[in-house]
């Protein structure tokens, strides 16, 4: 979605109208917000209507104070929240169920109050730092885009669940084909052969589901326009059955992509699955990042290069030297028999049980590890030095460095300030408040547990209230 906000003067003049129409065509705008306009909207509504902007909200000017005007195209649903002489507050929904909250105003102090009160985040900008020239406010239009930058990239192979509705596939034939080479090469080649066979089989028997649905519906419409006959009735029955099968395949396809498990296949809700898939893809995508100094990073190649550079730095090693007493660091807790069982290759029964325990349409993923550590000790200088010695020894042996910027300390309530300062100086860490959170969850409980999670509850409720059922 793209929104243009313009503190515009001169809307009664043809050059300004031409510039506005050129901006609409160039950026394919969905919404336009105009402020401090001194002319009535009837002077430019005809031009906007001809470009597809058929709906609007308006606050007329009062005296010398220009009014505000919001207009949008067909396919955009605007739900008004608040409208007065200073602002337009609304929720915006697209056909794909993507929602955006907008608060459009032309008073700086009012906007700051809304940002602070709702804990909003500044999205940043690209372009000139100031939007005015010659001491005249806001003569540069501001473009807000939620689309980001998308590139067509190769998609990984995925087994489609609706393939199972066509009967047995050619997996066995492709897998059992003769392959010469080492076991690792043979396994890799069998996987590749199976993937190629499934792709070809899918193209021949299924193709584009959406295109086939449109084709079947067009054929049914043609039959409806023809005179009634037994031949046409039989033909329509076959087409209707085929159409319902394709509807079901489409449902299974989007349910698999959405990764939603709480709805069953019998609840035909393709629109919901499609919207959820689009939102999940948007959530998982990275359209831009920021350098440490605040400048934006855009483009797939630039973002990828920065991520490689960043994580290459924080995970770099300084070639540690393993000392002789390293085996004594951890006591032996696993017996030789247990170690042999852990290292053994799983048998067919274990593999079968593991696969059966997977969720529907799920695949095995790589195991993950966490490196978060919580250390408890007495609040004194001696304990602080022991902790520092342990962390230094671990860094020397492992080659990993402690991330000081993401580490902190917490002291009990009756700890003396002088002792806190001494410990903070030894460990070079800052203390965290009692209301600190980790991954959005409070680290420390209040006497009343409900009070500890009230903020999380309010945030969840605020998101739920912003949804709009279709």
Same domain? 131 vs 170: no
Which of 254, 284, 314 is the last residue before a domain boundary?
Answer: 284
Residue 282 near residue 371, CB atoms below 8 Å: no
pLDDT 10s digit of each residue in the chain, 470 long?
788 888 877 777 777 888 888 888 888 888 888 887 777 777 777 778 778 888 888 888 777 666 788 888 877 888 888 888 778 888 887 644 444 555 554 455 666 666 666 656 666 677 766 666 555 555 678 888 776 655 667 777 777 777 776 655 577 888 888 888 888 888 888 888 888 888 888 877 777 787 888 888 888 888 888 888 888 888 888 988 888 888 887 777 777 776 655 455 445 555 556 566 666 666 667 777 877 777 778 788 888 888 888 888 776 666 666 666 666 666 777 888 888 888 888 888 888 888 887 766 666 655 546 567 888 888 899 999 999 888 888 777 777 777 777 788 888 888 888 888 899 889 888 888 777 777 777 777 777 777 777 777 777 766 665 454 43
Buried (b) or exposed (e) across 101-115, using 16+ Cβ within 10 A?
ebbbbbeeeebeeee
Q: Tokens at residue 190, please?
A: 């069998």
Same domain? 64 vs 137: yes
| Closest alpha carbon to 360 in 267, 220, 262, 231 | 262
Range of the domain at 174: 161-284
Same domain? 65 vs 16: yes
Same domain? 45 vs 113: yes
Same domain? 102 vs 208: no
Give 454's contacts (C-beta < 8 A, 6+ positions apart). Answer: none
Note whether residue 176 is domain-resident. yes
Give 23's contacts (C-beta < 8 A, 6+ positions apart). Answer: 4, 29, 141
Same domain? 209 vs 248: yes
pTM: 0.45
Q: Tokens at residue 338, please?
A: 């247990």
Q: State the Cα angle at 463 between 458 and 466, rounded to 5°.
A: 125
Say how far apart CA 326 and CA 8 lie, in whole Å: 71
| Closest alpha carbon to 288 in 98, 147, 405 | 147
Summary count for the chain: helices (H), strands (E): 15, 14
Which of 284, 300, 318 is the last residue before a domain boundary?
Answer: 284
Note whether residue 130 is domain-resident. yes
């Amino acid at each position: 979605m793209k929104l243009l906000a313009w503190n515009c003067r001169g809307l009664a003049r043809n050059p300004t109208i031409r510039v506005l129409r050129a901006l609409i065509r160039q950026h394919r705008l969905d919404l336009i917000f105009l402020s401090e306009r001194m002319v009535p909207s009837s002077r430019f509504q005809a031009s906007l209507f001809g470009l597809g902007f058929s709906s609007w909200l308006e606050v007329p000017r009062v005296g010398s104070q220009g009014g505000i005007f919001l207009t949008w195209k067909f396919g955009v649903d605007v739900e008004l929240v608040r409208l007065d002489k200073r602002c337009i507050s609304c929720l915006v929904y697209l056909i794909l169920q993507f929602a955006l909250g907008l608060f459009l105003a032309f008073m700086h102090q009012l906007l700051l109050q809304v940002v602070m009160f709702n804990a909003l985040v500044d999205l940043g900008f690209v372009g000139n730092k100031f939007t005015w020239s010659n001491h005249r406010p806001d003569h540069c239009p501001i473009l807000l885009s939620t689309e980001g930058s998308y590139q067509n990239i190769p998609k990984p192979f995925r087994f489609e669940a609706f393939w199972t509705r066509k009967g047995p596939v050619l997996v066995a034939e492709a897998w059992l084909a003769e392959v010469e080479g080492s076991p690792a090469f043979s396994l890799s080649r069998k996987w590749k052969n199976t993937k190629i066979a499934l792709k070809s089989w899918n193209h021949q028997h299924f193709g584009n589901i959406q295109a086939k649905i449109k084709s079947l519906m067009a054929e049914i419409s043609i039959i409806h326009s023809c005179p009634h006959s037994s031949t046409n009735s039989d033909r329509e029955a076959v087409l209707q059955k085929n159409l319902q099968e394709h509807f079901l395949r489409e449902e299974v396809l989007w349910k698999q992509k959405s990764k939603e498990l709480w709805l069953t296949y019998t609840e035909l809700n393709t629109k919901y699955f499609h919207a959820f898939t689009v939102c999940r893809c948007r959530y998982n995508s990275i359209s831009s990042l920021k350098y440490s100094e605040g400048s934006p990073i855009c483009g797939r190649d630039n973002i990828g290069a920065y991520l490689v550079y960043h994580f290459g730095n924080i995970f770099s090693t300084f070639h540690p030297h393993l000392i002789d007493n390293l085996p004594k660091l951890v006591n032996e807790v696993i017996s030789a028999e247990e170690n042999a069982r852990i290292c053994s290759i799983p048998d067919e029964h274990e593999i079968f049980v593991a696969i059966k325990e997977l969720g529907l349409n799920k695949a095995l993923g790589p195991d993950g590890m966490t490196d978060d550590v919580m250390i408890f000790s007495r609040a004194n200088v001696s304990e602080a030095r022991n902790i520092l010695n342990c962390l230094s020894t671990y860094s020397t042996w492992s080659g990993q460095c402690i991330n000081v910027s993401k580490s902190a300390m917490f002291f009990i309530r009756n700890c003396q300030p002088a002792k806190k300062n001494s410990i903070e100086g030894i460990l070079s860490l800052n203390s965290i408040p009692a209301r600190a959170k980790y991954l959005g969850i409070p680290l420390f409980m209040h006497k009343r547990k409900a009070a500890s999670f009230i903020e999380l509850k309010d945030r969840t409720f605020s998101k739920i209230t912003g949804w709009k059922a279709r």
